[in-house]
Amino acid sequence: MHTQDNPMILLDAKKIQSHTRYQPTLTIFETIGSTNDYLLQLNEPAGAINICLAEEQVQGKATRGKTWYSAFAENLYFSCRYPLIAPINDYSSLSLVVSLAVVRTLKRYPVPQPFWVKWPNDVLYDHQKISGNLIEVQRQSQHVVIGIGINVNMLHDLDAITQPWTSLRQITGVYLDRNVLCGSLINHLLDYLYIYSEKGLEAFMAEWQAQDYLQGKDIALLHNGKTIEGCVMGIDGLGRLVLAVDGEVKRFPSGESRVLKNPTGFYPLTDSASR
């Protein structure tokens, strides 16, 4: 609840830019269909970096055609249009790097437990989802659009969300200024994208392994309409999930997973989400 002592803080381009080393073009909407869709339709010069934010999305997008719930002025609905840094069909690892940039951003806030990255594009805290991302390619202009959703100030459990979730406010007990968080996210995301463009996923392998939520866990993976059970051995150099399945090592470039043995019980299939 917002009170006189704790007013709602709206997104502000000048405040965001005061917290970032970069100067991308920032566009903020009160309400929009999807921040990703806005940037996919944008016609800007080659090489331009554009960021779109919204207080609310009415058609927020998640992977595989699912919907990302977007409460007004509570969370961060963020999309970045960035020049292509790899061949169009070589983006299976980019979502992993984006998740790591989100974790780096969230670490600015003191919390009692670590954040974890969950292949292919989720960030978890205490087995609950706090962030997801969605990668889409703008082929005609050779740009990639990176959508990121972060649960910031959302408190109430909603029927629209069908999986365990948390927010920074739930974790810290403090109402947070999303402008500060957004400035920090821009810094870390663009830093990581530059390193990725220069060195690829290899530069992030140790960081991923240190925060890999699925490592060593028995999971059920939904891939191409089939469910495969196995033990997670990590990821490979292309960002594919490596599974030990009935004595064989198999690699998967995409899919949805559920952990079969978890301290909180049976973990549901995740909606790997974004803008």
pLDDT, tens digit (0-9, with 9 covering 90-100), for 110-132: 999 999 999 999 999 999 999 99
Query: Is the pLDDT reported for residue 100 higher than 50?
Result: yes
Q: How far apart are CA 62 and CA 149, in angstroms?
A: 10
Query: Is the pLDDT reported for residue 260 higher than 90?
Result: yes
Q: Is residue 264 in a domain?
A: no
H/E stretch holding 222: strand 218-223
- Residue 102, domain extent: 13-208
- Mean local confidence (pLDDT), 239-251: 97
Which residue among 179, 208, 237 closes a domain? 208
- Going by pLDDT thresholds of 50, 70 and 90, the confidence category of residue 266 is very low
The verdict on 203 and 219 lying in the same domain is no
Local structure of 30: helix, strand or coil? strand
- Mean local confidence (pLDDT), 199-210: 96
**Domain CATH number, residue 197:** 3.30.930.10
DSSP secondary structure letter of residue 64: G
**Domain CATH number, residue 248:** 2.30.30.100
The percent of residues above 70 in pLDDT, for the chain, comes to 84
More confident of the two residues 47 and 184: 184
**Could you give phi then psi for residue 177, rounded to 5 degrees?**
-80, 115
**What confidence score (pLDDT) does residue 1 get?**
46
Q: Is residue 273 in a domain?
A: no
From residue 29, give the alpha-carbon distance in Å to each of 56, 147, 148.
Answer: 8, 15, 16
The position carrying tokens 């029927």 is: 159
Q: What is the spatial order of strands in the sheet that 248-252 belongs to?
A: 248-252, 241-245, 226-235, 218-223, 256-259
Tokens of 201: 């996923």
Number of domains the chain contains: 2
The verdict on 91 and 196 lying in the same domain is yes
**What confidence score (pLDDT) does residue 138 get?**
86
The verdict on 65 and 84 lying in the same domain is yes
Q: Which of 143, 140, 145 is nearest to 78 (CA)?
A: 145
